[in-house]
Amino acid sequence: MIEIITVSLIAIFLIGGAFFTIVAAIGIIRLPDTYTRLHAASKSSTLGVGLTLIGVFIYFAYYHAEVDTQLLLAVIFIFISAPVGAHLIARSAFHSDVEPYQLTILNELKRDETGSEVETEETARLKIERSKNKELDD
């Protein structure tokens, strides 16, 4: 009974890891700009690789009675370094004037760094709605 549970657990982790890795690959290919591609690369691939390594850790711990702490350290390192690296790449892309996708509604980083919000049709509509709601509340 324990072996069935262990095999099922290993299979769930490996299949989940493969799924998230495939989702990351599709996201990198299909998404329109640098910023959204970085999101797919950092979130999905981190989870995919992490799940795969945890499945491998369970396999070796159960079937070979070897507890490999290097696998756990690799999972921790990937979970820390991949999102931080993607964040730094996105910031450097922003400072290198890489334009976001044309349908991007609000660029919060530009607003925070320059102190002014880039006015789009959507943000103008939201401002009008907020002012109407505020007038109704008063």
DSSP assignment, residue 32?
Answer: S
Long-range contacts of 81-90 (CB under 8 A, 24+ apart): 82/41, 82/42, 82/45, 82/46, 83/42, 83/43, 83/46, 85/42, 86/38, 86/39, 86/41, 86/42, 87/42, 89/38, 90/34, 90/35, 90/38
Predicted local distance difference test score (pLDDT) of residue 59 = 94
| Measured distance CA(6)–CA(70) in Å, rounded | 21
Spell out the domain ranges in the chain.
Answer: 2-100, 105-138
Task: List, for residues 5-54, the tens digit of each pLDDT value.
Answer: 999 999 999 999 999 999 999 999 999 988 889 988 899 989 999 999 99
pLDDT digits 0-9 by tens, 82-127: 989 998 998 898 888 888 777 767 667 666 666 655 556 666 777 7
For the question of whether the overall pTM of this predicted structure is more than 0.75, the answer is no
